[in-house]
Amino acid sequence: MTVVVLVADVPHPGVLPDLVATTPIDGTAAVALYRAALADTVRAVADSGGDLLVNYPAPDDAPVDDPERRLRALVAEALEDRDADPRFEVRAGSSFTAHVGNAVTHLLRDEDVTSAAALRPDVPLVDRTLIDEAAMKLRRSPVVLAPAEGGRIAYAGFAEPIDFTGAYTPPAVETTVDRAGDAGHEADFVEQVPTIRSASGVATTVATVRARDRAGLRVPTDTIDAIEDLGLRVTERDGEPTIESRRRPDEESR
């Protein structure tokens, strides 16, 4: 069974800075979108065969008070209709790479788990099928990755530790495979999944979620609600897909 480490932040203004800087999505909308994605990602892990471990920021490193309490409340709300008992641990290190490396290495070496994975709560299209497929592949391959847009990583699973120093240096998917090779490990992949961290990723997420909803297929429920509430659409501009917010003026002034 894979322990899935969700490296989570409390939803707050500034939680998705690149998204706000490169799209019409403002800080308030980014908070709502991140909160929705967090809930959907938590449920995806809980519904899979993995164990959820929420890795929360230390109080001194968080932009809000009592991050553990706030994240516990959000996770409990997301899982209120499920029989799940997630773990919560404060994260160690000064960077995302360090957070992942410390958590995964501790689980593999000190807790002797079979495999451990790192996931951010900004990939609402990650579902239980992908998580379980990755867990199956981890029985044969020491490293399994789900790539994301722009060379990012959506999911990273490990059955053996690697040297995580700089592993998430862009393009993270290449760098992590290189680190695996340096440790003598082969790497495998599951399907690519977009994040909501970038303009291209959020455009893919919005278009895919809306299309799946229109087709009557399963969608991340909180994310589709947020997309509709925020009036997010993908349109064409200068031949390129562009995210657009079609909130009514009275909604924007609230």
Residue-wise DSSP of 69-126: HHHHHHHHHHTTTS----EEEE--SSSHHHHHHHHHHIIIIIS--SEEEEE-TT-TT-
pLDDT tens per residue, the chain (254 residues)?
899 999 999 999 999 999 999 999 999 999 999 999 999 999 999 999 999 999 999 999 999 999 999 999 999 999 998 999 999 999 999 999 999 999 999 999 999 999 999 999 999 999 999 999 999 999 999 999 999 999 999 999 999 999 999 999 999 999 999 999 999 999 999 999 999 999 999 999 999 999 999 999 999 999 999 999 999 999 988 888 899 987 643 344 44
pTM of the model: 0.94
> Quick one: pLDDT at residue 254?
44
Domain residue spans of the chain? 2-193
CATH class of 2-193: alpha beta
Which residue do the tokens 């959000």 mark? Answer: 74
Q: Count of alpha carbons within 13 Å of 71, Cβ hemisphere only?
A: 28
Give the strand pairing for 240-245 and 232-237. Answer: antiparallel
* DSSP code for 154: E
